[in-house]
Amino acid sequence: MSYFKSDDEFIYLDAPYAEFYIPMDYFDESMKFAEDMGQTIKVMGVFDISIFMSDDDKRDELFKIPTMINLFVHDQETRVVNIPGHNEAIQCKVLKYVQGNKIMSDRIIEDSQNALQFAQFVTKGKLPVNIPYSQSINLWRKNLELNSTHLGVPSVILEMILSGAYRYKNDPTIKFAKIIGKDESGVSEHDYIMASLRRICQYNSTFTAMTYEDIDSMITSSLNRTREKKQEVPSPIEGIIKM
């Protein structure tokens, strides 16, 4: 069922009421995945929403336009929200729409910068957790298509980056691909967490942890790994240094 309609110029809400949940860390200057411009919000169009068909019919969905878009602001507030897939409630800017409200333009502006921002979106571990693991590569391909951009690498490279960022939620030191690929694993495509490049360094090994700038947390994670006798992932650079 479609909750939106278009007049070939703008997209409108075609449901009684909806809330769009944009995590506040999207607005962080180091992220720049969202910018409040007053009457509009420029944002990476991958985030959670809720559609309210009636008082007792709330449908949690994922907004999936994987490029920078401009949302019209009618009513908004900042509050802590329980979003499916998150262990804890997170603070979000909540955009509120009623039936007939204008959501955004019906046209996407092509810009290679949007492809670079989506690559950062992945490497900073910001893909929402309710995306099925096998579908994440399709979002990345869609971003490139929307912006008529090619990164100059085969798709397998993008898949390798994603496989490193997706970690098994019960043990983030393990790539989720190693778990979901086993027929007998009994896990779903949502049993993961996303890790930023910082966290991947932390999870892999003591050596890679020490190469990152946040030395305090890296030492802590390395000590915990040694105490729990977890497997170290050898780094090729480590071998060269030891020679």
Average pLDDT over residues 15-40: 93
pLDDT at 146 > cutoff 80 = yes
Residues 192 and 242: their CA atoms lie apart, in Å, by 34
d(CA 166, CA 127): 10
Q: What pLDDT is stored for residue 184 in this prediction?
A: 65
Q: Is the overall model pTM greater than 0.85, yes or no?
A: no
pLDDT tens for 105-127 read 999 989 999 999 999 999 888 88
Instruction: Say whether pLDDT at 230 is over 60.
Output: no
Side-by-side strand order, sheet with 192-194: 171-175, 166-168, 192-194
**Alpha-carbon span 193 to 172, nearest angstrom:** 7
pLDDT digits (tens, 9 = 90+) for 84-104: 767 789 999 999 999 999 999
| Cα-based distances in Å from 39 to 7, 46, 68, 91, 110 | 21, 20, 16, 21, 22
Q: How confident is the model at residue 242 (pLDDT cuts 50, 70, 90)?
A: very low
The span from the first CA to the last CA of the chain, in angstroms, equals 61
Alpha carbons 83 and 54: distance in angstroms, whole number: 19
* Res. 186: pLDDT tops 70: yes
